[in-house]
Amino acid sequence: MPKYLKSKIPKIEVKITGKFIPKYQSEQAAGCDLYADVDDTVVLEPGKYCIVPTGVRIELPQGYEAQVRPRSGMAMKHGIGILNAPGTIDADYRGEVKVILFNLGQEPFCIKSGDRIAQLVLNRVVQAEFILVDQLKETKRGSGGFGHTGTQ
């Protein structure tokens, strides 16, 4: 039995198809790794972005979503991130999970089949019931937005 299954973190059943099944790398990991499923090496040039297929399709239980997030090591070492991070996969989506990687680094970045390219994090979903009102309750902050608290 894999080590991560011994964790006391609650589990949900997620049905999946594909060659590279996501894997948790530690017992308490929140995210499991997604792998590139490409025919040929993809070269991501500095300042560019590309869609990288994973070959994976998932069936999430109703009331859950999956978020596709960047890998910190790729960001720190190579300047590689995810353009729409976090990308959301809804429970009713059945298409292939693909990752939009971008390169803010100084060097071309090579992606080969089987490379770990992103993390997948599962979350419970709550939907809002929007109630139209004439006015919102006042707060001390009010409408103070970006940078309203200063830098110190």
Contact between 86 and 67 under an 8 Å Cβ cutoff? The reply is yes
pTM comes to 0.86
Question: How many residues are given for the chain?
Answer: 152
Radius of gyration of the CA atoms of the chain, in A: 19
Per the prediction, the chain carries an average pLDDT of 93
Given a cut of 60, whether residue 3 has pLDDT beyond it is no
Do residues 70 and 85 lie in contact, with contact meaning Cβ atoms separated by under 8 Å? yes
Distance CA 94, CA 20 (A): 17
- Burial letters 36-45, b for 16+ CB under 10 A, else e: bbbeeebebe
Residue 140: what pLDDT?
87
State whether CATH 2.120.10.30 applies to domain 3-124: no
How many other β-carbons are positioned within 10 Å of the β-carbon of residue 30? 14
Question: Token pair 């960047």 is at which residue?
Answer: 70
pLDDT value for 84? 94
SS3 at position 90: strand
Higher-confidence residue: 82 or 141? 82
> Is pLDDT larger for residue 2 or for residue 135?
135
